[in-house]
Chains A and B, each alone.
Chain A
Amino acid sequence: MRHLYKKYKVILILIAALLLPVFVDNPYALHVANLAGIFAILTLSLNLLTGCTGLFSVGHAAFYGIGAYTSAILTVKLGLPIWAGFIAAGVVAALFGLALGLPTLRLRGLYLAVATLAFGEIMYQVFVNWEAVTNGTKGITGVPAPQIGPFLLNSYRSYYYLILVVLVVVVVLSQNLIKSRVGRALLAIREDQMAAEAMGVNSTKFKVIAFMSSAFFAGIAGSLYVHEVRFLSPETFISAESAAILAMMVVGGIGHIPGSILGGIALTVIPEYLRSFGDLRLVLYGASIVIIVIFVPRGIGGAIDFVDELISGTRSLKKTKQRSRVKEV
């Protein structure tokens, strides 16, 4: 039983995710599910930077926005195919990641946080004011839906599967990255940069790698977002959005992959679920973040580990403790 659980849990979760749109008929609910998937990707991307490498970013919405604008501008204004926009979104965001990562290598902790905050504010102002390219506050309308061969993914249901595929790819890639030599180097930098350098870890190189891969995934998430809602407005990328992504990561459990996914999903779904409360919903949303942080110390990830280890019978508290450790910010 335990053996079976261990072997098939991932497959079970995937099947559940695949079947979800079959049982959900409400297009609005599917739209929320799509947004939840996009935010899960975004949270995973921040997790690579902050959770694994300990580089604290408060401007992550900027990369998300860069991806979204790149994709929208290439497909709407230049008429390029969507797949080109999709790849370009990731690549351009990664280049911005390089541009932000290189000069800020010396910054640590909160000083880096301010630099990322500054970056986020600057990018937001560029989105609003560079009207020739971004259409300013009017936003970009008529963003096309993607097409795979004969299938036009213009319904929320078909788009759901596209997001699911990307999410799985991002999970596999970041899992591999974390478990590889690069991931161990990132972890070493997070725990103690000086010790890591003494052990021969090239911290410059690996920090830049962390910045670029994180920005790449965030850009991809931005591209997915813009082709889902088919409309782009700069308001989506205000600095409060960066704080929201940060909250998703912490609520999910820092450095924890399944936790990050669930954190992204939870903080997207909760405010939508609270919609029946009208204007009060964001008030309750704020309160629920505080409550989760107070009462669930290690985030959703900690709860997942607890249940997971209980079922598979390998509860080793020491291991999980180490995982949730985070370098002081």
Chain B
Amino acid sequence: MFQQQLIQGLAIGSVYGLIGIGYVLIWNAWGVLNFAQGEIAMIGAFSVLMIHVWLGIPILLAFPLAILLSMAIGYFIEITSFRPLVKADNTRKLIATIGIGIFLRNLYRVIFGADPYPFPTIFGDTPFQVGKLLIIPQNIWSLAIGFGLVVLLGLFLKGTTMGKSMRATAQDREAALLMGINVKGSLSMTFILASGLGAIAGMLMAPMYFVMADMGVMMGPKGFAVAVLGGLESMTGAMIGGIVLGILESLGAAYISSAYQSAIAFFVLFIVLVFKPSGIMGSKM
């Protein structure tokens, strides 16, 4: 029972972690929290629903197509509403992202209706047995994809020219510009990458819950919370934060009360912050 809940928590937690990493990437590069990150996850889930379920394109092709579509929408958001605010103060940027979130959520509600759509399990949900444990393939895949992406992202940021210029831009925009780095391109790339990650999170989330226009409202705050819990600047931190929240949620639901599932998780989060005010991996106040 305990291990079962642990695996469930790890799987959901890695999805939260992916959304949190989206927050971290954009925070490092832009100095803003993108409160539309949950909506990007929602777009990712809807993209797979459209391409795979409705158009009947096989999943191996539908997955990358849906990611590309979400990235394109992310890029569109960036040039229309982030680009004009590059020099604005943080609070204004933040509110702009809230506005975009409301815009996207309701746009999708107008297009697809408010009802939840069932989503077929892509990785299969017939559990298999390992020792005494029943394991659902979906959970293992979520976990593997979540951690795999963190590793890949780390390699990309440290090893490639594009990744290095993104990190340079995040560190000091002006100095990067003076060194001849394409700052504009790096900023866009960061945003596109964060959108892609958010979309993948949405796709992983979709089979566990339903797909609906409001799913971003639930996922966005959790991604934000785990990003801050992890110290806001560290991707590893966000992933750890995600795992912590995921496990707290599933243990809370199993042992205390399923109705108060996320309240318990947020309460523990609150306590963690009270005793460790700069997050798990945070260095500065």
Docked complex Cα distance between A254 and B90 (Å):
12
* Contacts A111-B273, A290-B100; A250 near B221 (Cβ below 8 A): no
Query: Which of A36-44, A116-124, A141-149, A219-227 forms part of the interface with chain B?
Result: A116-124
In whole angstroms, what is the CA distance A329 to B224 when docked? 14
Let me know if A117 and B89 touch, CB within 8 A: no
The segment out of B104-112, B141-149, B170-178 that lies at the interface is B104-112
Is residue A180 within 8 Å, beta carbon to beta carbon, of the partner chain? no
Shortest distance in angstroms between A278's beta carbon and chain B's nearest beta carbon?
A: 8
Q: Is the CB of B263 within 8 A of A293?
A: no
Q: A residues within 8 A CB of B90?
A: 328-329
Complex Cα–Cα for A280 and B109 (A): 9
| Interface members, chain B 171-223 (any A CB < 8 Å) | 217, 221
SS of A interface (majority): helix
Among A111, A119, A250, A282, point to the contact of B106 (Cβ < 8 A).
A282
The interface bits of chain B over 256-285 (1 if a CB of A lies within 8 angstroms of the residue's CB, else 0) are 010110110011011001100111000001
B20 to chain A, nearest CB (A): 11
Bound form: Cα–Cα A128–B259 in Å: 9
A133 interface contact, C-beta 8 A: no
**CB pair A111 B278 closer than 8 Å:** yes
B99 to chain A, nearest CB (A): 3
In the complex, the answer to whether A115 meets B273 with C-beta atoms within 8 Å is yes
- Is there contact, CB below 8 Å, between A294 and B85? yes
Chain A's closest residue to B285 (CB) is: A108
Tell me, yes or no, whether A269 is within 8 Å of chain B by CB: no
Closest to A285 in B: B102
Q: What are the residues of chain B within 8 A of A286 when measuring CB–CB?
A: 99-106
> Given the complex, which residues of B lie within 8 Å of A106, measured CB to CB?
274, 277
Which of B33, B99, B270, B274 is A110 in contact with, Cβ under 8 Å? B33
CA A317 to CA B14, docked complex, whole Å: 49
Verify if A107 is at the interface (C-beta below 8 Å from B). Answer: yes
A108/B277 in contact, CB under 8 A = yes
Q: Is the CB of A289 within 8 A of B274?
A: no
Residues of B within 8 A of A250 (CB): 91-92, 94-95
Q: Is B232 an interface residue (CB 8 A)?
A: yes
Closest-by-CB residue of B relative to A292 is B99
Q: Which residues of B contact A244 (CB under 8 A)?
A: 98, 102
Contact assessment for B96 and A294 in the assembled complex, using a CB-CB cutoff below 8 Å: yes
Residues of A within 8 A of B96 (CB): 289-290, 293-294
Contact A111 B92 (CB under 8 A): no
Are A279 and B225 in contact, with the CB atoms below 8 A?
no
B51-110 contacts to A, CB under 8 A, are: 80-81, 84-85, 88-92, 94-96, 98-107, 109-110
Q: How large is the interface on A (under 10, 10 to 19, 20 to 34, 35 or more residues)?
A: 35 or more
* A103 to B285 alpha-carbon distance, docked (Å): 16
Q: Take A279-B110, A289-B95, A297-B88 as given contacts and tell me if A125 and B217 are in contact as well, using a CB distance cutoff of 8 Å.
A: no
Q: Are A247 and B262 in contact (CB under 8 A)?
A: no
Q: How far is the CB of B240 from chain A (nearest CB, A)?
A: 15
Min CB–CB distance A266 → chain B (angstroms): 13
Contacts of B277 in A (CB 8 A): 106-108, 111
Contact present for A254 and B102 (CB under 8 Å): no
Asked if A289 meets B225 with Cβ closer than 8 Å, knowing A110-B232, A294-B85, A297-B92, the reply is: no
Which of A126, A285, A287 is most buried by chain B, counting CB atoms within 10 A of its CB?
A287
Binding site for B on A (CB under 8 A): 103-104, 106-108, 110-111, 113-115, 117-119, 121-122, 125-126, 128-129, 238-240, 243-244, 246-247, 250-251, 254, 279-280, 282-283, 285-290, 293-294, 297, 326, 328-329
A-B contact pairs, 30 of them (CB 8 A): A103-B274, A104-B274, A106-B274, A106-B277, A107-B273, A108-B277, A108-B285, A110-B33, A111-B273, A114-B229, A117-B221, A117-B224, A118-B266, A121-B262, A122-B267, A122-B270, A125-B260, A244-B98, A244-B102, A250-B92, A282-B105, A282-B106, A283-B106, A285-B102, A286-B103, A288-B99, A289-B99, A293-B88, A293-B96, A328-B90
